[in-house]
Amino acid sequence: MAGSVAIVGAGPGDPELITLKALRRIEEADVILYDRLVNEQLLGYAKPAARLIYCGKSPGHHSIPQERTQQLLVQYALEGHKVVRLKGGDPYVFGRGAEEALAVAEAGIPYEVIPGITSAVGAAASVGIPLTHRGVAASFAIVTGSRCHDHEQPVRWDQLARNVDTIVVYMGVSQLGHIREQLLLHGKDAKTPVALVENGTTSRERTITGTLDHIDKLAAAMKITNPALIIIGEVVKVRERLLSLQHTLNAQII
């Protein structure tokens, strides 16, 4: 008898941000295939007999090829196991969750997708940056920096620069100079505020802010590394206002 597969979003890093439904699937699982950005505290909820398989990917290195990960999902489910594919953020936002869902579905295996808080939303909120804000930003777009030099499917920086209020870039720190250059080339104001959020929602969270004209140099000086999120737009100024108000409140309490 075939088992089942749950493709589960673990959220942006803070283990408390996982959903109750996702947590139940972890507790029930016979096999868990988990990614690099999954907080390993979540694996503590697995039953003692559960098999844990690391499938992490980092820039330039995949511990297990994507095709092999999909084969394992199918293999363990066909053996009758309850399988969880545990992914950082949301499975369907730069998580290759749809590729895995297709592989499982094509094998005739029952599956479900359990959403998670994607990093763009979670990390931005954690540091006080709204992706939309009345009178400031009515739209946002999420893009991946890993496609910066993909000539077959190039990022449309021209459209993003002109038509989107807030731009959020995943996996873009190593391409920050190129991103800056392209946005300026297509008309983005050099003084547009930018925030870099490193290890968002975790105890190692760090945020630096600047403007588009020099953000790549600032990131290099501060040694920002992945995982980090790039947030470009006037909404970054909302964080500054919130910090100022918090400082005033703290001074009044003292």
- Residue 239: other Cβ atoms inside 10 A: 19
Is 4-114 CATH 3.40.1010.10?
A: yes
Assign domain 119-241 to a CATH class.
alpha beta
Model confidence band, residue 254 (pLDDT cutoffs 50, 70, 90): low
CA distances from 53 to 30, 188, 237 (A): 11, 44, 42
Hey, what are 71's tokens? 């084969």
Distance CA 55, CA 91 (A): 14
* Sheet bearing 206-211, strands edge to edge: 140-144, 166-170, 228-232, 193-198, 206-211
Distance CA 209, CA 42 (A): 31
Domains 4-114 and 119-241 are alike in CATH topology: no
Predicted local confidence at residue 46, as pLDDT: 98
Domain boundaries, the chain: 4-114, 119-241
pLDDT in tens, 64-93: 899 999 999 999 999 999 999 999 999 999
Distance CA 40, CA 33 (A): 12
The residues assigned a catalytic role are 35, 57, 171
Give the helix/strand (H/E) hosting 196. Answer: strand 193-198
CA-derived radius of gyration, the chain: 20
pTM value is 0.92
Model confidence band, residue 251 (pLDDT cutoffs 50, 70, 90): confident
- Do 73 and 5 touch, CB atoms closer than 8 A? yes
Model confidence band, residue 60 (pLDDT cutoffs 50, 70, 90): low
Q: b/e string for 2-14 if b means 16 or more Cβ within 10 A? A: ebbbbbbbbbbbb
Predicted local confidence at residue 151, as pLDDT: 64
Predicted local confidence at residue 33, as pLDDT: 98
Predicted local confidence at residue 63, as pLDDT: 73
Closest CA to 174 of 144, 200, 150: 144
pLDDT in tens, 139-171: 999 999 987 666 668 899 999 999 999 999 999
Hey, what are 97's tokens? 């969750």
Q: Is the pLDDT of residue 28 over 90?
A: yes
